[in-house]
With several copies, the nearest count.
Chain A
Amino acid sequence: MKLISAIIKPFKLDDVREAISDVGIEGLTVSEVRGFGRQKGHTELYRGAEYQVDFLPKVKLEIAVKAEDAERVIEAISKSAHTGKIGDGKIFVYDLESAVRIRTGEIDTAAL
């Protein structure tokens, strides 16, 4: 099994979710994160002093998938999260050793 972790632009979340579900994956976990990268933050102004807000709000998706599905999911994310502008984000893939579905006790691919 693989764990795909994708950092994307927040407003792409719905598109990505749809794309993933189109390739047959229903489960995922999302968190609000802040990204630092080539894309720079913006300058804010407060009481006459400018300051740099470096971080950018991003959304992180974690999706556990069967090894054989990984390729398709990565592709689906790549396409649906793509805008071509800097800051589109990254997809990282790790090896997932095991998985448990708490409700049923099913394990590994059955748990996904």
Chain B
Amino acid sequence: MEELTALTGTVTELRFALDTFYFLMSGALVMWMAAGFAMLEAGLVRSKNTTEILTKNICLYSIACIMFLLVGYNIMYVDNVEGGIIPSLGALIGTQAEGADHSLESDFFFQVVFVATAMSIVSGAVAERMKLWSFLIFTVVLTAVIYPVEGYWTWGGGFLSEAGFSDFAGSGIVHMAGASAALAGVLLLGARKGKYGKDGEVFPIPGSNMPLATLGTFILWMGWFGFNGGSQLLLSDAENATAVGQIFLNTNAAAASGAVAALLLNKVIWGKADLTMILNGALAGLVAITADPLSPSPIFASLIGAVGGVLVVFAITTLDKIKIDDPVGAISVHGVVGFYALMVVPFSNADATFGAQLYGAFVIFAWVFAASFVVWMILKKTVGIRVSDEEEYEGVDKSDCGVEAYPEFVTLK
């Protein structure tokens, strides 16, 4: 009998170990998405702004890690009231709960990389014209406060979770939130010089490096297996393991369908296969399935992704028409498709309702957009958020970083 008890203990610990390991591997994959965003954005901006976007990406990830450790995780998860609106304040990550399924540290690690993802979305949308330092200050606020507060509302057990809002891996909480912050920034920032003509023409500003953009997309695709797969939170029994498998399958299917849908749509409309649209299509497929990668059948997941891929193409061209300049399409991919992702959940998940989804989407958007708008505005009035015309023309690499991205290569200016 004693032996049995001992063995039971061993098995319990083994489960704990496997679930912790699964969290850590998932977290490492999501961390890898930081590289994906960096490469995607570096490929889609002009070469004269490439060093700065790389700098922004590595610094935002780093700042997110620090701020979420210092206060963000505490705000989001520690000592909060069930169903509340205002989280408790505090520092650091708290202490390991008795009988937890996995180690607290692995949980923190898995959560922190999500914050960085939200912030990465912003950097792409405001690229090529925003001051480095203003951006970094905004990063501090978003990752320390804005994101953790809304994160608490759903994942931390706050009022949105009580209201039945359902967002499995964060189409709204992470992606639409990031896009909302980005939108506020872009509205205050204005379009890049030369992007829109006086008579409403749209002048494309092609990205400088397609292989980088493609690599970034593949990295994000891979990392998303950790993003969605890890969000099941448990793996160590048959049901959970099966669920994680289903999530991998659906995530992959949605991304593939998003890419193919964008490809076909491009062919039909313009007769060509615009690679950057296909990349956005794949990412749209991923965002689309993220609100619920578990409930749909693989076929339905493919459909969800395909619609996401179609949507993103129209969103990108529409935003251009209303002169919202987003060099990498982040607002379309994460915002428009993120919202769509939330609204499609009730079709396959009986626990979700359109009302709750709409409510949640509205709350997240309103909070993140408003809070971000205020912060951006303060920055604009004080240190300024936009580089000078001359710096913009010369490229922000020179003014902000002092290092060019490709100093030896002769480029068309």
- Which residue numbers of A lie inside 8 Å of B, CB to CB? 10-11, 32, 34, 42-51, 57, 59
Q: Beta-carbon contacts of B325-368 to A below 8 Å, as 1s and 0s?
A: 00001000000000000000000000000000000000000000
B198 at interface, CB cutoff 8 A = no
Once A51-B203, A51-B204, A59-B413 are accepted as A-B contacts, the answer to whether A45 and B272 lie under 8 Å apart by CB is yes
Distance in Å: Cβ of A65 to nearest Cβ of chain B: 25
A85 to B38, CA, bound (A): 36
Once A11-B413, A32-B413, A42-B398 are accepted as A-B contacts, the answer to whether A48 and B320 lie under 8 Å apart by CB is yes
Which of B160-168, B177-185, B402-410 has 4 or more CB atoms under 8 Å from chain A? B402-410
A37 to B117, CA, bound (A): 46
A4 to B294, CA, bound (A): 68
Once A11-B393, A11-B413 are accepted as A-B contacts, the answer to whether A47 and B404 lie under 8 Å apart by CB is no
- Which residue numbers of B lie inside 8 Å of A, CB to CB? 202-206, 269-270, 272, 274, 276-277, 313, 316-317, 320, 329, 393, 398, 402-404, 410-413
* Chain B hits for A46, CB < 8 A: 204-206, 274, 276, 402-403
Distance in Å: Cβ of A100 to nearest Cβ of chain B: 22
Distance in Å: Cβ of A71 to nearest Cβ of chain B: 29
Of all chain B residues, the one with the shortest Cβ separation from A45 is B402
A46 to B203, CA, bound (A): 9
Once A32-B410, A32-B413 are accepted as A-B contacts, the answer to whether A48 and B313 lie under 8 Å apart by CB is yes
A57 to B317, CA, bound (A): 30
* Chain B hits for A48, CB < 8 A: 269-270, 274, 277, 313, 316-317, 320
Contact indicator B413/A10 (Cβ below 8 Å): yes
Distance in Å: Cβ of A70 to nearest Cβ of chain B: 27
Which residue of the partner chain, among B205, B270, B329, B411, contacts A45 with CB atoms under 8 Å? Answer: B270
* Chain B hits for A10, CB < 8 A: 413
A46 to B411, CA, bound (A): 19
